[in-house]
Chain A
């Protein structure tokens, strides 16, 4: 059975594999035997090999070097290109983060291949599903040249264990001078919170213009915390200074696809819908019965968010 290279994306906080990595290992199985690729500073792979094997990695290629950590994107693409040349895999699957997409693009040029970004599903014949135009159009695409490269959108696939051997193989890393141009000087974490990552969360509660102030966002945070969810914000709320830009959900922000999305005080402009339309269940709270968000909602409450949301938060907390 042909190999499928799966690039492991790691959580900078604890060094463990992100959920997106387990999703990619799961999605890759239909194309062949997953082989995880771990690229990072020395010592990166030691703690995560068991998890990668548990989720189907028959092989684990370990490419550890300080150089791959010190420079942006290009060294990782070089390592993958080297593996594609040596192993002739059936495909390459990469989690669809900004870095993952950039690695995919560089890899495509290096290997003379095509690539597809933000795919939500991969079929056995290599056909991928993508959503276009703010989620309004479902597209099926194929790579027609070279080794197909896919980046998998987060939360599109449910990770399923499939224990495999996880045989380790060390990859010699020789980063070229050309790939050492863009140096990473510092990695700064600005928001430390105990909430799940917005793009990985199973539940997202977002606030919009209707929240009316930065202070009032505590109402949104309260509901999110009662559900163990992440907090998001519409562009209107971010532009008004209610919440930081890194939490913006929409066309010019994050795309999320959680099990449950609760839109509070959000009218549902196309800008916002683009970032949340593919959520499994959508709940809306808005005082305007004509708000377009209700067209998307599985369940909508027409009412004042400042009475409905705190009361709901209290009830949910009481159920625990």
Chain B
């Protein structure tokens, strides 16, 4: 079972995140960058499947040179090797263009299963499995809270509002995972040391056979026109409960005509 896990480096969602006013793209260079949290669950799931079925786990990322930190994290958890697609021309690409780059990179790998996090904490578009399914013609099994591999079939519980859908498809397939699916392992010291020796192959757009003019900000299918910080909220009212907290609360709701 050869598994590819898609990993993205994102600005830490616990830090202050910004757009770069020079071109309205995510300010990645100045950000506190980390591996996308949801991807750790995909890596854990890949390792679990590998431990049961054998095979190899390859990490694939598209991003600037600094994305090596995210790759190292994945390798230290136990992935076997990595492919890092890095090319300045990719900067500012939209989801549609990025999916073309990932699809081209996947086409150069052998895989039975592709795993990724159900969303990135920066863009939160959360449709990469659908885009890759469309481009590669492999089925999408997205939004999984449980994954079962039985022979040549993959089955998931797709998380929905108030329940789940049981969904299945033949392999190779692309599966995205929510944080309900498992508990990601922490890298061990041994794992961290071993990660330093694991192979990381860097590829450019030329290596993937992609014309650089078809990706990047200039030809993106959507663009950010402008942005601004959310206007600060007006000063709120804060009262202490002196036995009358409920009265004050209900009084406020009544004044707002809510009750």
Contacts and interface: CB of A to CB of B under 8 A. Distances in A.
A199 B252 CA distance: 24
A84 B24 CA distance: 30
Contacts of A197: 161-162
B151 interface: no
A312 B259 CA distance: 11
Given A301-B239, A303-B245, A316 B259 contact: yes
A186 B166 contact: yes
Interface in B173-214: 173, 178-180
A15 interface: no
A146 B221 contact: yes
Given A117-B125, A289-B238, A297-B238, A141 B223 contact: yes
Given A72-B140, A118-B124, A146-B221, A137 B167 contact: no
B230 A136 contact: yes
Nearest to B139: A181
Interface in B237-259: 237-241, 245-250, 252-254, 256, 258-259
Contacts of B227: 132, 137-140
B259 A114 contact: no
Given A251-B121, A302-B241, A105 B130 contact: yes
Interface string A197-233: 1110001000000000000000000000001000000
Contacts of A118: 124
A1 B230 CA distance: 35
B133 A227 contact: no
B165 A142 contact: no
B141 to A, nearest CB: 6
The majority secondary structure among interface residues of chain A is mixed
Range class of the A interface residue count:
35 or more
Contacts of B259: 227, 316, 319
B170 A141 contact: no
B223 to A, nearest CB: 6
A28 interface: no
Interface of A: 72-74, 77, 98, 101-106, 108-110, 113-118, 127, 131-146, 178, 181-193, 197-199, 203, 227, 245-246, 251-252, 259-260, 269-271, 274, 277, 281-283, 285, 289, 294-304, 307-309, 311-312, 314-316, 319
Given A137-B229, A141-B223, 18 more contacts: A101-B130, A105-B96, A105-B125, A105-B127, A106-B130, A117-B126, A133-B122, A137-B17, A142-B223, A252-B38, A252-B178, A259-B258, A282-B236, A283-B252, A299-B236, A299-B239, A301-B238, A311-B245
20 contacts: A72-B141, A101-B130, A102-B130, A105-B125, A106-B134, A108-B131, A114-B222, A133-B18, A144-B220, A181-B139, A186-B165, A188-B163, A227-B258, A252-B178, A260-B256, A270-B14, A282-B236, A285-B249, A302-B241, A311-B246
9 A-B pairs with least C-beta separation: A303-B241, A114-B221, A311-B246, A105-B127, A181-B139, A102-B130, A114-B222, A308-B245, A312-B246
